[in-house]
Amino acid sequence: MRRSLYRERIMELLEDGKHRTAREIFELLHAELPALSLVTVYRNLDALERAGKVRRIQLGEETLWERRNRPPHLHFQCRVCGRVVDLPVDISPLARHAVSVGTVETVHGVVEGICHSCREAGDEKAS
């Protein structure tokens, strides 16, 4: 893959472990890189995904992005505030069962619920 300032900055931005939308990435980088467009962010994310450097996470209608080199994990998404948090998972039992059909390379999954902050705030949607 050809080296690109935009790709490098996107990768640096995703190093913090947060799950970001393409629009969030664009908004965070646009002040620093005024020639950057949202289309360019999408194009670079697609290229980084094809190169195996980032992973697309589909949560409902929202697409989030994260670095690919992270340990296997599931995602907890709060149905009230939408916050997404990584949940580490031991894939050993799954990998043992999957041997008969192939090799486990990654795990994708979403656990939905209400985060502690929303529960403690007594948000009416949390009932």
Q: Give the pLDDT score at 98.
A: 78
The structural domains of the chain, ordered by start, are 5-67 (1.10.10.10), 73-126 (3.30.1490.190)
pTM: 0.74
Q: Give the pLDDT score at 8.
A: 95
Q: Give the pLDDT score at 126.
A: 47
DSSP code per residue over 17-81: ---B-HHHHHHHHHTT-TT--HHHHHHHHHHHHHTTSEEEEEETTEEEEEETTSPSEEEEEETTT
Instruction: Tell me the mean pLDDT per 10 residues along the chain, length 127.
Output: 87 91 96 95 96 88 85 85 86 76 74 91 65
Q: Give the pLDDT score at 125.
A: 60
